[in-house]
Amino acid sequence: MKKIGVLTGGGDCPGLNPVIRAVVRKGLLEGYQLIGIKNGWKGLVENDTMPLDIDAVSGILPKGGTILGTSRTNPFKKEEDLKMVKENFKKMGLDALVAIGGEDTLGVALKLVKSGIPNIVGVPKTIDNDLSATDYTFGFDTALNVAMECIDRLHTTAESHHRIIVAEVMGRHAGWIAIEAGIAGGADVILIPEIPINMDDVCATIQKRHSRGKTFSIVVVAEGAQFEKGTMVLQEQKLDSFGHVRLGGIGEALAQEIEKRTGYETRVSVLGHIQRGGSPTAFDRVLGTRLGVKAIELIKNNKFGRMAALQGVKIVDVPLEEAVKALKTVDMDFYEMAKVFFG
């Protein structure tokens, strides 16, 4: 009987549990034994596992987060950790591994495939939706809908108080949440990491809107957006094990600058991890389910080093290389379309 490990790495997101459930349900149908590796790559370093049978995944479909836990552990940071990953893979008796994650987790999966653990398949996860070779990652739709609802709520209070409200949403390198939640929520200005912020343009847009009688505005900004002078606002300088800094604070800096330049009272609301928590949308449950089933099919067909992906309406498989080689950022034509509704 084949033994299959499953892990979830990087930032959590709604839809992880539907994927785990699908991997287990389809895996059991194929006659496989499934084990959960706890807390991402950390569980492989530390040999920390849990059994994954049908009872373990019963009732988890609507739940946010991940029953396996997660971490941002990068086993390629320390030689010793990498050695343990390889040893534990053998010790656990794994025939294959399903790695569910974003660019960091799948980047590690690819490196492992090339350096002694070939039997890995990937499933694309991230609220940022910035993985290549898949039209959508699961988790994005839920985060987007949460952000849209928050923008709707901010609208009513901004309108009552005649204020500008800056909504800071997640999005480290790509502004997918900002642009889609901004369009869906009717934001008056949308600022994304792909385009440096020009304060003259932002204020002119707000002034134009106010000159036609409006007394409030909503500005959506992605946490990874930067001012034109190239400064990114950080919460702290410390790097995580994948070399990422902790972002956050652009909303506050932007609000202060808008108030200073326009004279309009400006407040900020940082949505933060609220976007990552809670129950997945139907779209993310279905997408996660389809991707999980596909992961087991890849294993069954010995298609390792590949990732399940959504292209158009079809679930396909792509080389892991293609998924992690470059980030999928917001298309400039799409941004131009969004600008029709600015101001």
- 128 binds ligand F6P, rule: CB under 6 A: yes
What are the start-end ranges of the E strands in 198-320? 217-222, 234-236, 246-247, 266-270, 306-311, 314-319
Q: Does 324 bind ligand F6P (CB under 6 A)?
A: no
What's the DSSP call for residue 210?
H
Nearer to ligand F6P, 117 or 225 (CB): 225
164: helix, strand or coil: strand
328 contacts ligand F6P (rule: CB under 6 A):
no
Least Å distance between CB 135 and ligand F6P? 18
The contact pattern for ligand F6P, residues 245-284, with x = CB under 6 A and - = no contact, is: -xx----------------------------x--------
167 binds ligand F6P per the rule CB under 6 A = no
CB nearer to ligand F6P: give 35 or 323. Answer: 323
DSSP H helical segments within 30-125, as ranges?
41-46, 79-91, 103-114
**Interface with ligand F6P, residue 172, by CB under 6 A:** yes
The stretch among 122-130, 146-154, 189-197, 324-332 that binds ligand F6P (CB under 6 A) is: 122-130
> Binding residue for ligand F6P (CB under 6 A) from 126, 142, 266, 289?
126
Q: Does 170 bind ligand F6P (CB under 6 A)?
A: yes
Cα–Cα distances in Å, from 83 out to 51, 89, 93, 115, 257? 24, 10, 16, 11, 50
Does 142 engage in binding with ligand F6P (CB under 6 A)? Answer: no
Spacing of C-alpha 62 from chain mean position: 18
Rounded to whole angstroms, what are the CA distances from 242 to 72, 104, 231, 328?
Answer: 7, 7, 21, 18
Give residues 72-111 in contact with ligand F6P (rule: CB under 6 A): 102
Would you say 161 or 244 has its CB closer to ligand F6P? 244
Q: Parallel, antiparallel, or unpaired for β 96-101 and 3-8?
A: parallel
Q: State both tokens at 274.
A: 């609220």
- The verdict on whether 128 is a catalytic residue reads yes
In contact, 304 and 298? CB cutoff 8 Å:
yes
> What count of residues does the chain have?
343
User: Per CB under 6 A, does 42 bind ligand F6P?
Assistant: no
Nearest approach in angstroms of CB 18 to ligand F6P is 18
The SS3 assignment for 8 reads strand
Q: Which stretch binds ligand F6P (CB under 6 A): 87-95, 116-124, 166-174, 261-269?
A: 166-174
Total residues in contact with ligand F6P, by rule CB under 6 A? 12
- Alpha carbon distance 269, 154 (integer Å): 8
- Binding flag, residue 11, ligand F6P (CB under 6 A): yes
Active-site position among 128, 130, 188, 317: 128
Binding residues for ligand F6P, per CB under 6 A? 11, 102, 126-128, 170-172, 223, 246-247, 276
Q: Write out the catalytic residue numbers.
A: 128
